[in-house]
A and B are shown apart, each in its own frame.
Chain A
């Protein structure tokens, strides 16, 4: 229908509105965005706190018999000087102990971890020729937070009195193998384990009575405890005949009957001078204990038990929630086996569950907030308008989530806080557009215009100031990306996601608000019912 003069679109806002207003693909686009967002939400790795790229490493150099002062002069000082040559190191910490020294380096936050590790290793290896004499090969150990911090820990304990610490460990070790095979599990360790060991405790009194020295006993045991590979012989017809010496020591009884010396013509067995037992590692003082509430209503914790803790960590960038679920699944499969052996376990750490809880709790907050805003808009603008604005929120969040997923981010507390923070901001664009449409619909010249034209005009009109204002908010967020240090890294999801959400909010507001208005809003029929203000 020809009117006196068609509205001239001046801003991108109007152009977008015009392009998409009658396009059948607009609704497809909307559905596509929502699906993309939902998919990203469900497959993105979840974690409680964002990953902070801490890189660093330690160099351990041993020099038996040296005092801390000597270590400081011979090892720490030269090593520290050399490590100063590496770029990107923030602090160098040196520590000189008796017999060994360590130098650890902390890189600036955000330094690439692989590069950092390589640089450190490189620098140490380049200077191997300058190593002082009598010093053992240095060990270079990079820190790896993903692998070093377990996401799951289990404490295994004996329910049955018959199960001793060694047996407990053996069973946990078997389980460790199974759990390590789970997808995306990186490192598993066993803490507080007591290992089987043949203890030879020598009685000093008997030693001198038989006129023996400790060295003799050591040699005697070592001489029988040898493993030799099988040897190959050949027959005359060139067939192989394989034969080998059986290990002399098969059990603790064999150790007991090692002959350590001859005394006055009769042999002296090891059992004569020492107590030989099949026990556990007595020299290991690193033990672990556990107390827990034996049943739910117990007032206090149960008695102390010794335990073995199995820790499980995940590969970097994988979903803690899934890994934890998979591991628990494996453990459940072995539940019967464990019960049969008289072993119980409790979960003492589950970061997967914690991450999931934190994420779900915030998601809930997000939904509640959206509902509250929608309710507010019902009162302020009317329910149709409210529905339109409310639709834009998931669309914007979906776009932001999708972009976050593509850029390799994870869903964590801070990402969701970024969403919560931007929630108040991102309905703005839609509110401003819908408010202007609302205003135009109730303006006195409303019946002179076509609905299409009116919508485009209303969108276009506020385009320029809204663009500039949104740009202003984006600009405030950008410098935050350059905040350094741990805190900067920790907060990074905010400057990364808020601008994306804001840009998305502009597009969604310009594309979908007029489109949905066309479907949902009608020109008021009671046009001249009340006199409009202004001029």
Chain B
């Protein structure tokens, strides 16, 4: 401890050495900050976590039959059949798997059409298997998609992992807002094309119905009236014939539910020859209706058939028409592909539209406004999904951080009744950010996947503020007592205080480092652990070197020996 005391004492003695310490600290600070723009440290809200399960969503184009959907999903199942880490797989056709957190926001519970299927894949316990679930998904995704998606044209297969934190619709969501439905459909397809071409993005999907051919039976009202029928009757019989209806029920004491009686045309008699107008006409000509007089009238007599396009459903968000385009990230942070894709979009849309960026700073700052050069119609490309949540969270945590700074500052001002001393403590604790960023950079070297700076790292940093301000606080307090009660000279008092306080500071630091060591291995809270460990190391250096220098420079540190203090109250050892 004597050594440290002497070391500090010498530094404080020379102006040049003091300046050296300050400059070195400043250099270290700016060098670490530069790690963000140079992408040496990457930011993400939450990293992926290895889980014992993941799910696969199969979507065939709107209007596909359950058999077509089944074909694609069976292909997926067959591909995974021989995976050694899969314990079981469940296929749910025409519906979602039992609801989970991911499905909750992805609309899994709303699925009830023939063109959807979901597969739940359960894996062996994550501790007993080498490959984490996210790497497994990354490996399987391209293989499965390549083989199975082409089976039914226009199908999409999505691999859905359990979110590490709160669930979101997708990593990247682009909302295409606009009044003109056809235009936003077109825009959303173009956006999807750009996203598909962007590196690091997978499972791109436009969340809109596909348009398919359908036939409209137009009732001829006059003919219907004259043949003694009604339009309602026509509708009912048609539905009864092809969709079937539960026409009656039987209650039973041996059966847990009522037994319905279901009336429908037999499979052979209702199946059409082909997907054509003629086939439909010939089918309905043999379907007869009975009029009030008991005469049979063929259905084809009272309606005529028209081929039309299906009308897709319309989505609104906050009272505006829009279409979602979603994409998942493939083991990378969503920030960088997003910026990439956004650049490409600006370039691509500049041909036909005037592209303007969202003015001002907000969590919608990446949004693009498009104005059609010819018609003047306005469209909006809004980034949502995990990116928006990330920005919101980082903004809020940033706010919390500033609030924490202000609160600490006020507390210190109340305690010391000096702005300068409080400022020194605050500056000292802020500098622990050097360690936080550097720690992530180092951690990235030791992990096989990218080690992201996450929301939990920020929480760690905020907690660090308090810890490192405690170090400086104890230091100042002690030096102050030494000067007041022992009448020590300032330079010596600071050196002695630093040396005496070094032990508890180091002890608590080691306690924090050891306490966080196990935290660092967790995928989600790893950021917090690393932030605490490396930040604490930095904080120790800052409080034992940088803070004493500032203290020596500060006029507010000039305490006169006071009479009131009890000499017995202070004891120095070692």
Contact = CB atoms under 8 A, between A and B. Distances in A.
Given A170-B255, A285-B93, A472-B473, A150 B104 contact: no
B166 A487 contact: yes
Given A150-B99, A300-B81, 19 more contacts: A69-B314, A96-B313, A200-B264, A204-B286, A290-B91, A309-B98, A349-B98, A369-B515, A420-B516, A425-B463, A425-B467, A427-B508, A461-B570, A464-B477, A471-B411, A478-B407, A480-B397, A487-B396, A534-B574
A213 B518 contact: no
Interface string A197-234: 11111111101100111111110011001010000000
Given A92-B316, A214-B237, A476-B462, A373 B266 contact: no
A389 B388 CA distance: 44
B512 A348 contact: no
B411 to A, nearest CB: 6
Contacts of A421: 459-460, 463, 515-516, 519, 528, 532
B93 to A, nearest CB: 5
B470 A469 contact: yes
A173 interface: yes
B469 interface: yes
Given A197-B259, A348-B122, A480-B462, A291 B99 contact: no
A479 interface: yes
30 contacts: A68-B311, A91-B318, A93-B316, A148-B104, A192-B92, A198-B250, A200-B263, A203-B268, A204-B269, A205-B269, A214-B263, A215-B289, A283-B262, A286-B95, A288-B93, A291-B88, A293-B87, A304-B77, A309-B90, A369-B514, A373-B511, A417-B522, A424-B513, A424-B516, A425-B467, A461-B570, A468-B411, A472-B465, A473-B467, A478-B403
A199 B262 contact: yes
B361 interface: no
A376 B507 CA distance: 9
A480 B400 contact: yes
| Interface-centre pick from A103, A173, A369, A474 (highest chain B CB count, 10 A) | A369
A380 B473 contact: no
B263 to A, nearest CB: 5
Nearest to A225: B248
A80 interface: yes
Interface of B: 1-2, 45, 52-53, 66, 74, 77, 80-82, 84, 86-95, 98-101, 104, 109, 112, 114, 120, 122, 165-168, 233, 236-237, 240-241, 243-251, 255-257, 259-270, 286-290, 296, 311-319, 389, 392-393, 396-397, 399-401, 403-404, 407-408, 411-412, 415, 455, 459-460, 462-463, 465-467, 469-470, 473-474, 477-478, 486, 488, 496, 500, 503-504, 507-508, 510-519, 522, 524-525, 528, 532, 536, 566, 568-574
Given A376-B511, A475-B404, A479-B399, A293 B262 contact: no
Contacts of A5: 568
B319 A81 contact: yes
A431 B511 contact: yes
Contacts of A198: 250, 259-262
A202 B265 contact: yes
A376 B515 CA distance: 11
A351 to B, nearest CB: 9
A465 B289 contact: no
Contacts of A29: none
B296 A213 contact: yes
A33 interface: no
- For B81, B166, B233, B317, the residue with the greatest tally of chain A CB atoms inside 10 Å of its CB is B166
A170 B90 contact: no
A383 interface: no
Interface stretch (A19-27, A398-406, A435-443, A512-520): A435-443
Given A465-B474, A475-B466, A479-B399, A288 B90 contact: yes
A326 interface: no
Contacts of B396: 482-485, 487-488
Contacts of B165: 486-487, 490
Contacts of A225: 247-250, 261
A49 B266 CA distance: 51
Contacts of A535: 486, 488, 572
Nearest to B53: A349
B224 to A, nearest CB: 15
Nearest to B401: A479
B96 to A, nearest CB: 9
Interface stretch (A36-44, A115-123, A274-282, A335-343): A274-282
Residue of A465, A469, A485 most packed against chain B (CB within 10 A): A469
B126 to A, nearest CB: 10
A84 B320 CA distance: 13
Contact of B262 (A49, A197, A204, A457): A197
